[in-house]
Amino acid sequence: MKDLAPRLGVEPKTLSSWKRDDDFLAEWEKLYRRTIGSPEKMRQVTDALHETARDRTDPRQVQAARAYADIVDAAKPKKIDVNVNQTQARDLSDDTLLAILAERAAVELEQRKPTDA
């Protein structure tokens, strides 16, 4: 952070505070999704890996199969345990509550998708 801060024209303390700022992190995530990690780009990569992994004549088959398996494993929904009682839920900010609900809804929708056979 000491090297990065001067390049960005900010103090190292500013970088530290950005790492804890929910609004900044949300904007960072949006930018990341648009430029690097869009679901469409990831789908193209996984499709290409899958094709290569299934092609017995391709010398990269084993590496592609391993990479594809790693991606599939990393994409599995993480198990989370949430214990909330009425008092705790009431104490959550609207944004936090909506984020929890959105995350759970995304997991549920992903589980409902038909799987390719």
**99 located within any domain:** yes
Q: What is the pLDDT of residue 38?
A: 75
CA distance 22 to 3: 24
Asked if 79 and 85 touch (Cβ cutoff 8 Å), the reply is no
User: Given a cut of 90, is residue 28 above it in pLDDT?
Assistant: no
**94 located within any domain:** yes
Nearest alpha carbon to residue 72 among 49, 102, 54, 38: 49
**97 located within any domain:** yes
Average pLDDT, the chain: 85
How many helices and strands, by DSSP H and E, does the chain display?
Answer: 7, 0
* Number of domains the chain contains: 1
Q: What is the pLDDT of residue 62?
A: 95
pTM of structure? 0.39
**Is residue 22 very low, low, confident or very high in pLDDT (cuts 50, 70, 90)?**
very high
**50 located within any domain:** no
Q: What is the dihedral of CA 15, 20, 25, 27, to 10 degrees?
A: -70
Q: What is the pLDDT of residue 86?
A: 59
**34 located within any domain:** no
Q: Which residues contact 39 (CB under 8 A, 6 or more apart)?
A: 33
Q: What is the pLDDT of residue 84?
A: 61
**28 located within any domain:** no
Segment 61-92, tens digit of pLDDT: 999 999 999 988 887 777 777 776 655 777 88
Regarding predicted confidence, which is higher, 81 or 107?
107
**117 located within any domain:** yes
Domain of residue 104 covers 77-117
**40 located within any domain:** no
**Residue 61's Cα: distance from chain center in Å?**
26
